[in-house]
Structure 1
Amino acid sequence: MEVWTEERAWAWHRARPWTVGCNYIPSGCINLIEIWQEYGFERVAADMERELDLARSIGLNAVRMLLPFEVWRYQRDGFMERLERVLRMLDSRRMQLMPVFFDDCGRGPAENYDPLPSFGPQPEPQPGHHGGGPAAPCPNSRNPHYHYSDDRTNWPDMKRFVQDVAGAHRHDSRVLAWDIWNEPGNSGKDGRGNCSSSLEAMEAAFIWCREMEPSQPLTAGVWDFYHLDQENRRLGELTAIEKRAAELSDLISFHYYGDLSGTRRLIDSLKEWNRPLLVTEWLHRPFGNEAAEHLPLFLKEEIGCFHWGLVNGKTQTHEPWDWIADRPLDFSRWQHDLFLPDGTAYDEEEIKLFRRLAGAGASR
């Protein structure tokens, strides 16, 4: 199965209402294991029922969630049952899931990687850190940017993971699209996109998924637009691994946390691919990436959008990334998230805007 033609991609896009969703981590979870493992899932499910009601109440019709390979590997049957349960929760609210298979943001020192996950209770958050805690230091690492895909003995199980999930849901209307690889090339070092060791694994993952002949589109997002002051690149110019991700994608997905001017220029650049656009991460208030300006733009341009964060919780994504904490920015504003843990809106005007524009987009 080949990459969709432009005509097929646009036909898919035009047959749908505007996608307006969020990247979703339940507020009581600090990591993917805590979301998807067997231990404590009833508590997690109760949080999800309540929080997805909030999402739907403001007009969201989709969520994007990372699926943990390690949980599937060691708890396969239970994981598939829990995934089905999440899909039922979403469907009952007329929402869809955009699953993400793999993630380069998870790269880190090889010495810190444990191939056997620690199931059960997970660490508690450390106050003041985006993500729930500081990065674990390992200054003399033999491989500071390790990902389990670097070890090709993991590839057979990675293939089974992709094909098990995609095969079970290849014609499932509850699945919006398949996000093959989050931020390909993200080295984990100051957020720089200077790591290409995932390239062959990403290419393989696209093949594995396409072999299941899913009716949903495939994508992997371009994202490395934060360091243009240090790179001799124009906004929208892609690194080698990003370019390959776009070539393999049916839809062009992207991440951007910059201001409105930059967002417009990036959109103009990505339109050169002549495919539907989907922004799968946005909303960064200290960077000037605000809902008041961006949500109307995405609706006008018919760009599906997933902002980061729903209910503030253990991952503490209201805090700034550690690597920008010393910049002269206004950190009195939350970086991400829309609701406090008790369901109160962080910014009531934002919530009103979501409700109004999501309603308009539904009748597109």
Structure 2
Amino acid sequence: MNRRWTESEIWSWYRDHDWISGCNYSPSTSLGGMFALLQEYDHETIRRESAKEIALAASVGLNSVRVFLPFEVWHRQRDAFFAHLDEFLALLDSYGMTLMPVIFNDCLPPKSQYREPVFGPQPEPKPGFFGGTDENSFDTATQTGKRVGYSVFDEPDMQPVAEQYVRDLARHYGDDPRILIWNVWNEVGNSSRDHMSLPLMRQAFAWLREENVSQPLTAEVWGAQMPDDASYYTWLNDPHFFGDIDRESLALSDIVTFHYYGDYLHAKRLIALLKQFGRPMINTEWMHRPFGSCIETHLPLWKREGIGSYFFGFINGKSQLNVVWDFIKPYPSVDQTLWMHDIFHADFTPYDPDEIAVLRACNADKTLPDSCSVFLAPPSGGSCQRR
């Protein structure tokens, strides 16, 4: 569609689909994630491993995955990028699953830590760090505003490349039903970038609409313009909007997407706040056991409210998504013995079998509206308990 969808149009689209129940997926066997899957090097090995993981996702009833597209592979190995992405889409489709691709991202390390992506064999993880590396956007100094995340698109000569990238994606997949929604930008304003990415985000939305893609477009609400990490921790207990960055994302988006890692009661408060915009909602990032964001409580909440779901992580692997973000490590109230993300060990055994039982129960019937109210009791403590 070459304009923003009306409320009537997006509700009609949403009701024509099953309830969305998915995860944020990255192949667990390589630190490179989707980069490793889509590059030329040793593709068949990681493809086989990913096929097993997607089969597991389908077996627990997931019907969609959200992935961060690796621009660098498109830029330097375009043929491999599209051939391998086509293959991945075919794999998903064989299980009745769809894809939400993330095109741009503001969760970025500062320029002093920026490293060109490594093609070929991927580096091994550094133990004890979320993402498998200490060069990430989650360390305390970055979060407190002392260092600004760096994007290659900050360079003036990258604007035409960004446009080519967006239009190329649109021309390949703009009418492909295997692509559910375009997540145009992940957490715009994060990594102390503030308004830096807004001009390109506006352009990206415009380019996709000029290409007349058939899928909805979105950029999520996540609590932008928080001055430091302490404010983020406070925001979990008082979810609200922090200014024009989130509001611009809402104004551009066809469908309301949001990220929220807070507990059950405050998640309900955020839902009430977002309902004012009158559009369907999807939580594209959630599940943070130390913060009390739990499958047992939150997944039934999203389903009862008709809100789509992509919890963060899936199979624990080299990205070490079980490790808490660096900037919350000093918080004494955060139980860091709990896994932050992921629901399966590397051998495919559940982290918590009760989580899988709730997941299967909620996914058994994806018609809208529906309820899993039998599971709606909030946890007794402030965080999820491993059983």
Paired residues of 2:306 and 2:368 also in contact (CA < 8 A): no
Percent identity over the alignment is 42
Which AA in structure 2 matches 1:351? I
Match of residue 88, structure 1, among 90, 114, 122: 90
- Indicate the residue corresponding to 2:6 in structure 1: 5
2:67 alignment partner, SS class: strand
2:366 alignment partner, SS class: helix
What is the CA–CA distance in structure 2 between the aligned matches of 1:321 and 1:207, rounded to whole Å? 34
Paired residues of 1:69 and 1:158 also in contact (CA < 8 A): no
- Indicate the residue corresponding to 1:220 in structure 2: 219
TM-score (norm 2): 0.87
Which AA in structure 2 matches 1:134? D
Match of residue 267, structure 1, among 266, 271, 277: 271
Shift of 1:207: 0.8
1:360 alignment partner, SS class: coil
2:364 alignment partner, SS class: helix
Paired residues of 2:106 and 2:190 also in contact (CA < 8 A): yes
1:167 alignment partner, SS class: helix
Match of residue 338, structure 2, among 333, 341, 363: 333
* Residue correspondence of structure 1 range 316-355 to structure 2 within 5 A: 316-328=320-332, 329-355=334-360
Give the root-mean-square deviation of aligned CA atoms. 2.3
Mark the CA change 1:238 to 1:246 in structure 2 (over 3 Å): closer, same or farther. Answer: farther
* Residue correspondence of structure 1 range 127-276 to structure 2 within 5 A: 127-135=127-135, 144-187=148-191, 195-224=194-223, 227=231, 235-276=239-280
What is the CA–CA distance in structure 1 between the aligned matches of 2:233 and 2:65, rounded to whole Å? 32
Shift of 1:36: 2.1
Deviation string for 1:264-314 (max 9, x for gaps)? 111111111111001000000000001111011100100000000111000
Gaps of 5+ in 1: none
What is the CA–CA distance in structure 2 between the aligned matches of 1:142 and 1:303, rounded to whole Å? 36
Is 1:299 matched with 2:303?
yes
Shift of 1:47: 1.1
2:336 alignment partner, SS class: coil
- Indicate the residue corresponding to 1:357 in structure 2: 362
What is the CA–CA distance in structure 1 between the aligned matches of 2:233 and 2:124, rounded to whole Å? 36
Is 1:122 matched with 2:127?
no
Which AA in structure 2 matches 1:119? F
Deviation string for 1:164-199 (max 9, x for gaps)? 112111111111100000000002x5xxxx621001
* Residue correspondence of structure 1 range 72-111 to structure 2 within 5 A: 72-105=74-107, 107-111=108-112
Shift of 1:228: 5.3
Paired residues of 1:171 and 1:214 also in contact (CA < 8 A): yes
What is the CA–CA distance in structure 1 between the aligned matches of 2:80 and 2:120, rounded to whole Å? 14
Gaps of 5+ in 2: 370-387
What is the CA–CA distance in structure 2 between the aligned matches of 1:7 and 1:180, rounded to whole Å? 22
Shift of 1:24: 0.2
Which AA in structure 2 matches 1:98? M
Deviation string for 1:249-272 (max 9, x for gaps)? 000100000001111111111111
Paired residues of 2:64 and 2:100 also in contact (CA < 8 A): yes
What is the CA–CA distance in structure 2 between the aligned matches of 1:79 and 1:255, rounded to whole Å? 28
When the two structures are aligned, how many residues end up with a matched partner? 356
Q: Which ranges of 4 or more aligned residues in structure 1 deviate by more than 4 Å? A: 139-143, 228-231
TM-score (norm 1): 0.92
Which AA in structure 2 matches 1:266? L
Mark the CA change 1:353 to 1:236 in structure 2 (over 3 Å): closer, same or farther. Answer: same
Deviation string for 1:92-119 (max 9, x for gaps)? 01000000100000x22224435x5321
* Residue correspondence of structure 1 range 10-89 to structure 2 within 5 A: 10-31=11-32, 32-89=34-91
Paired residues of 1:110 and 1:142 also in contact (CA < 8 A): no
